[in-house]
Structure 1
Amino acid sequence: MQSQTAVSSVVSLPNAENDALAALLTRQRAAFNARGEPSSLDERKQVLKALLDALLARRFDLAEAMRLDFGGRAPQESLLELFVVIDDLRHALSHLERWMRTRRVAANWQFRPSRARLMPQPLGVVGVIGAYNYPVMTTLSPVVGALAAGNHVMMKPSSLTPKTSELMREIISGLFAEDHVAVVTGDSSIAKRFSKLAFDHLVFTGSTRVGKLVMRDAAENLVPVTLELGGKCPAIVGDDFDIKAAAETIVQSKLMNAGQTCVASDYALVPESRATEFLEHARAAIRRYYPSLVVNPDYGRVLMRSDWERLDKWVREARDKGASVETFNPAVETCNADNRVFPPTLVSRCPRDTALGSEEIFGPVLPVMTYRTLDDAIAQVNAGERPLALYYFGHRRGDVDKVLRRTISGGVSINGCGYHAIQHNLPFGGIGASGIGAYRGRSGFERFSHIKPVLYMSPLTKAGVLLRPPFGVLAAWILGFMLHNRPTREKL
């Protein structure tokens, strides 16, 4: 799908002094304004369908690029990442006509028979900064919502996954003109300049620390932001739930993509009386899932050497402070910072004043904490920052409702981990330190739209006319009726 002008090369900036970013934004805004009115339903469907077809055609190439960037990653995990974007595209194509409709809403009774409407309109140019852990999904999922809403888009994939970013650049440049959808490549200095541009909206996925910097940069131009961050996502196991099923589900969630998932179970909270049993089943699950590590295509690598070293430091700190650490390396392979294979690790009796106990782990290390009562578990969760996700395993309705009412998190899954984040009708986003704003499905369309309120005043609506100065007795009666909702004269 080509947009209005011919395809040009995708922007690749060699240094932070290059002003091509600002020029690209100017061209995109000019192209958006040149449309005169928002793109039609058919035009938007063409754009989404072209992207859908291209991702399906290049799915194995993208999976291979991610494997090379990570130094080892299961193609099944990469295809699951692609599925999220492809499913978003299909859902948008099926529902876009309804989302784009102007909706009727009721006018205040004092102004009837005037009519009120809500009209979705695109914002203009949306900037998207993706993350390295899921480089395709974190970049393209918000792009789906932005394009469905009729915007032009500038994308900045992670520089830490260069092969995947380059392949996305190639795919996008073959589909769209640069003044419609563009991919910007470059290192962190380019990302810094990107976050300072005067977009109509900016989406960032990454750490809370960097999210604060992005928000500060965007504030210079009063750019509204959507921040998808992270935090310590707890998995609480109720005392009435199958402990084996809970352990297997939590371990699977934790170890997918070598723990580099923002909605992964950061730590488990299990009843004190069942901690030993939980650990037994967690050990068995790890050994069954990953009989080997280095030569196992199903076991991923942490992307950066610095992350491997950070995880190793944090585990050693917890051990030094009295935690029990179990490392799983069934085939007795060499796992080190050079090959970036960090073995699955269970940490019990982990003190809260350690990095593992207080910071988002983002790696294949699972602390197992204990609680005595459900109120105690809730108090432990609420003692920290609000997480991006929370998981509760239990069947008693009263306990489930208590957890839902008394904890605050970006999203929740009951008796499962993670999949609430890819439901079309559930907005995905954080709260507080775990993020600002949400998207997915209609929520994404509306996030990247201005829902413009319109009032059609009826000539029969006399409230405004009758309240014109000079004010008299009639105005006093009208104000009295409006203020008190009954016939009365307001004393003025």
Structure 2
Amino acid sequence: MEMVGDLLEEEVKELRESYRSRRTKSEVWRKSQLKGLLSLLNDKEEEIFKALFQDLGKHQVEAYRDEVGILIKSVNFALQNLKQWMTTKKVPVPNLIYPSTAEIVPEPLGLVLIFSSWNFPIGLSLEPLIGAVAAGNVVVLKPSELAPSCSALLAKLVPLYLDSKAVKVVQGGEVVAERLLEKKWDKIFFTGSPRVGRIVMTAAAKHLTPVTLELGGKCPAVVDYFENSREKKIALKRLVSGKYSPCSGQACVGVDYILVDENFAPALIELIKATTKRMFGENPKETHSSSRIINKQHFLRLKSLLDDPKVKASIVHGGSTDEDNLFIEPTILLNPPLKAHIMNEEIFGPLLPVITLKKIEDSIEFINSRPKPLALYVFTKNETLKRRMISETSSGSLTFNDTIIQYLCDTIPFGGVGQSGFGNYHGKFSFDTFSHNKPIMRTGFLTDFWFRYPPWNDYKLGILRSAFTYNYLRFVLLLLGLKKA
């Protein structure tokens, strides 16, 4: 324990010295780090694919789509826009403080700690790192020990492509995480479960360190009836992919459960079955299009959800498990008990409950009766229902007629609300998350309004009242002595 602490102390000391040197604030340094990340992703694509397969059994197409490709897009977006993001912005000021001027200067927060998650171990490590270095910070990245191949790969590659005195990868489990949280940081960025998120917040509170929490939650998909067969087919592909394709359902933005009109439910289930077979084959384990469950602990957790007798009775498709290969078949459940664990904790696996309602509009009340989700997906052409979903529900994001695409969009913020987390990132929002927007005021000595200083009287009160309420005619008349206070 002491050796771990001493080593971390030296690492953190070197990082602080790098930051105090001010070199990380330059545009040249920031761009060099982003270009280094781009080179890493392009040069080491095969190594990344191999590590992701070793940890999660991800097919290389899924690995590129969900991690490598997204990161390349994000780095290029940051490189294209960095100069604009860094630029000092002039802002208007009230006439009351004329002839002052104001501007906003984005500056790095300083020493940043990033905890990433195991389900997208490359993407969720490097996506926040893009924002942190673009903003000019020095960084400690702590990958998840549950994805050891990816963690080791990042520890090997990052020092080869980035400034090793300003960006460090620290490997380890709970002991290392605890030691890291004991130190004072200027920002902590955490991706993971609400349980660990509370631990991070508690530790950060000791130093009043600002925290961004990217958590999860049960993301519902509301599925309305589609008459058009082509639209129905596309909707089903997006829905099934949004549940089973990202890492076998081990994704915080993946579909957790479906809400559907009871009259449409039987047809919907048959459509989900058919679409699942087209995507993953009659024997999904043999097609290698499904990732495996991360480890035995998580496999047994998912299996225990199914082992509840009332839940098991609700299975209408799938349900088979293979502990030796950490594989769970894509499974559909119809109306499992709402009090069961499967409906009250984030599933994070290929189990899909379908909950029926008297009418699709009842989904609004159902969603509002539960913690706010990270994402809400609504498949409908009903414009009234869309408007109600926007105005009457709260979620980290709301997507109509598709799933997960909001994660790819650099021009909107990604993040949760309430129990699903707070703070956001992606694109400029990542830059802002790791920056302090410092306001700068400038003024001179040409004018000085005497009425802003004591001693006070009713005349000064009248002038101030007219100034603050933008009654400039009265303000001028009072100043000229042409009107009484």
Q: Structures share a fold, TM > 0.5?
A: yes
Q: Specify which structure has the higher proportion of helix.
A: 2
1:479 to 464, 478, 485: 464
1:329-408 map, 5 Å: 335-408=321-394
Distance 1:65 1:271, change over 3 A: same
Q: Are the aligned partners of 2:91 and 2:102 in contact in 1 as well (CA < 8 Å)?
A: yes
1:161-200 map, 5 Å: 161-200=147-186
Offset from partner CA, 1:1-23 (integer Å, 9 cap, x none): xxxxxxxxxxxxx7785332233
1:45-124 map, 5 Å: 45-70=31-56, 72-80=57-65, 81-124=67-110
Q: Are the aligned partners of 2:260 and 2:360 in contact in 1 as well (CA < 8 Å)?
A: no
Report what 1:453 is aligned to: 439
Offset from partner CA, 1:293-326 (integer Å, 9 cap, x none): 3332212100011111111111121635852442
Q: Are the aligned partners of 2:315 and 2:331 in contact in 1 as well (CA < 8 Å)?
A: no
Offset from partner CA, 1:320-374 (integer Å, 9 cap, x none): 5852442166xxxxx4222101111100021110111111100000001112234
Report what 2:277 is aligned to: 287
Report what 2:112 is aligned to: 126
**Structure 2: stretches of 5+ with no match in the other structure:** none
Report what 1:5 is aligned to: none
Q: Are the aligned partners of 1:149 and 1:448 in contact in 2 as well (CA < 8 Å)?
A: yes
Q: Are the aligned partners of 2:143 and 2:171 in contact in 1 as well (CA < 8 Å)?
A: yes
Verify: 1:215 aligned to 2:184, yes or no.
Answer: no
Further displaced range: 240-249 or 197-206: 240-249
Report what 2:12 is aligned to: 25
Distance 1:318 1:400, change over 3 A: farther
Report what 2:298 is aligned to: 307
d(CA) in 1 for partners of 2:217 and 2:74? 25
Q: Are the aligned partners of 1:293 and 1:341 in contact in 2 as well (CA < 8 Å)?
A: no
d(CA) in 2 for partners of 1:76 and 1:195? 36
Q: Are the aligned partners of 2:139 and 2:166 in contact in 1 as well (CA < 8 Å)?
A: yes
Report what 1:268 is aligned to: 258
d(CA) in 1 for partners of 2:367 and 2:441? 45
Verify: 1:202 aligned to 2:193, yes or no.
Answer: no
d(CA) in 1 for partners of 2:77 and 2:425? 13
Q: Compute the displacement of 1:393 (Å).
A: 0.7
Q: Which residue type is aligned with residue 344 of structure 2? A: S
Q: Compute the displacement of 1:461 (Å).
A: 4.8
Q: Which residue type is aligned with residue 306 of structure 1? A: Q
Q: Compute the displacement of 1:155 (Å).
A: 0.2
SS state at 2:286 partner:
coil
Q: Which residue type is aligned with residue 131 of structure 1? A: S
Further displaced range: 165-174 or 227-236: 165-174
d(CA) in 2 for partners of 1:275 and 1:266? 17
Further displaced range: 208-217 or 238-247: 238-247
Verify: 1:136 aligned to 2:122, yes or no.
Answer: yes
Q: Compute the displacement of 1:484 (Å).
A: 4.3
d(CA) in 2 for partners of 1:215 and 1:431? 15
Report what 2:249 is aligned to: 259
Verify: 1:470 aligned to 2:441, yes or no.
Answer: no
Q: Are the aligned partners of 1:133 and 1:260 in contact in 2 as well (CA < 8 Å)?
A: yes
Q: Which residue type is aligned with residue 166 of structure 2? A: H
Q: Are the aligned partners of 2:131 and 2:430 in contact in 1 as well (CA < 8 Å)?
A: yes
Report what 1:245 is aligned to: 234
Q: Compute the displacement of 1:258 (Å).
A: 1.0
d(CA) in 1 for partners of 2:428 and 2:225? 37
d(CA) in 2 for partners of 1:150 and 1:17? 27
d(CA) in 1 for partners of 2:272 and 2:210? 43
Q: Compute the displacement of 1:471 (Å).
A: 3.0
d(CA) in 2 for partners of 1:402 and 1:213? 36
d(CA) in 2 for partners of 1:468 and 1:111? 14
Further displaced range: 26-35 or 255-264: 26-35
Q: Compute the displacement of 1:483 (Å).
A: 4.3
Q: Compute the displacement of 1:86 (Å).
A: 1.3
Q: Are the aligned partners of 1:16 and 1:189 in contact in 2 as well (CA < 8 Å)?
A: no
Q: Which residue type is aligned with residue 466 of structure 1? A: F
Verify: 1:298 aligned to 2:284, yes or no.
Answer: no
Q: Are the aligned partners of 1:235 and 1:392 in contact in 2 as well (CA < 8 Å)?
A: yes
Report what 2:310 is aligned to: 319
Q: Compute the displacement of 1:117 (Å).
A: 0.5
d(CA) in 1 for partners of 2:2 and 2:192? 22
**Structure 1: stretches of 5+ with no match in the other structure:** 1-13, 330-334
TM-score (norm 1): 0.91
Q: Are the aligned partners of 2:107 and 2:437 in contact in 1 as well (CA < 8 Å)?
A: yes
1:4-19 map, 5 Å: 18-19=5-6
Offset from partner CA, 1:204-225 (integer Å, 9 cap, x none): 1011111111111111111101
d(CA) in 1 for partners of 2:296 and 2:2? 24
d(CA) in 1 for partners of 2:2 and 2:233? 53
SS state at 2:117 partner:
coil
Q: Are the aligned partners of 1:315 and 1:325 in contact in 2 as well (CA < 8 Å)?
A: no
d(CA) in 2 for partners of 1:79 and 1:176? 22
Report what 1:332 is aligned to: none
d(CA) in 1 for partners of 2:113 and 2:285? 38
d(CA) in 2 for partners of 1:283 and 1:23? 55
Matched residues, number: 471
d(CA) in 2 for partners of 1:429 and 1:16? 36
Q: Compute the displacement of 1:402 (Å).
A: 0.8
Q: Compute the displacement of 1:108 (Å).
A: 1.4
d(CA) in 2 for partners of 1:266 and 1:202? 27
SS state at 1:135 partner:
coil
Q: Are the aligned partners of 2:459 and 2:484 in contact in 1 as well (CA < 8 Å)?
A: no
SS state at 1:294 partner:
helix
Q: Are the aligned partners of 1:200 and 1:223 in contact in 2 as well (CA < 8 Å)?
A: yes
Q: Compute the displacement of 1:178 (Å).
A: 3.3
CA RMSD of aligned residues (A): 2.1
Report what 1:43 is aligned to: 29
Offset from partner CA, 1:68-93 (integer Å, 9 cap, x none): 112x2211111121111111100000
d(CA) in 1 for partners of 2:288 and 2:447? 70
d(CA) in 1 for partners of 2:80 and 2:163? 25
Q: Are the aligned partners of 1:319 and 1:325 in contact in 2 as well (CA < 8 Å)?
A: no
Further displaced range: 138-147 or 284-293: 284-293
Q: Are the aligned partners of 1:248 and 1:281 in contact in 2 as well (CA < 8 Å)?
A: no
Q: Compute the displacement of 1:228 (Å).
A: 0.5
d(CA) in 2 for partners of 1:273 and 1:328? 24
Q: Compute the displacement of 1:472 (Å).
A: 4.2
d(CA) in 2 for partners of 1:403 and 1:102? 38
Q: Which residue type is aligned with residue 313 of structure 1? A: S
